[in-house]
Amino acid sequence: MDYSQIITIEPGKRSGQPCIRGLRITVQDVLEYLAGGMSMDELLADFPDLTAEDIRACLAYAADRERRLRS
């Protein structure tokens, strides 16, 4: 998945952490909610600005980052 149009990094927003479409929701936020047992449907219900594609982009971003760290 090409997440480059979904995951954004802005120095003045959330201390430059990767965010979703310029929102104040970070990739880390989404991953922590999922890791804590929240389902995708629950996440989408709690954060109406998010889409299923946004959540998949977070997962793809994290997987790509892990792959780069191992290289």
CATH pick for 7-65 out of 3.30.70.260, 1.10.10.10, 1.10.10.60, 3.40.50.12780: 1.10.10.10
Tokens standing for residue 3? 């997440």
Q: What is the pLDDT of residue 69?
A: 86
> How far lies 68's CA from each of 2, 62, 71, in Å?
15, 10, 5
Domain assignments of the chain as residue spans, ordered by start: 7-65
pTM summary value: 0.91
CB 54 within 8 A of CB 21: yes
CB 50 within 8 A of CB 42: no
Cα separation, 52 vs 43, in Å, equals 9
Q: What is the pLDDT of residue 2?
A: 92
Look at residue 71 and tell me whether its pLDDT is greater than 90. Answer: no
pLDDT in tens, 7-66: 999 999 999 999 999 899 999 999 999 999 999 999 999 999 999 999 999 999 999 999
Q: How many helices (H) and strands (E) does the chain have?
A: 3, 2
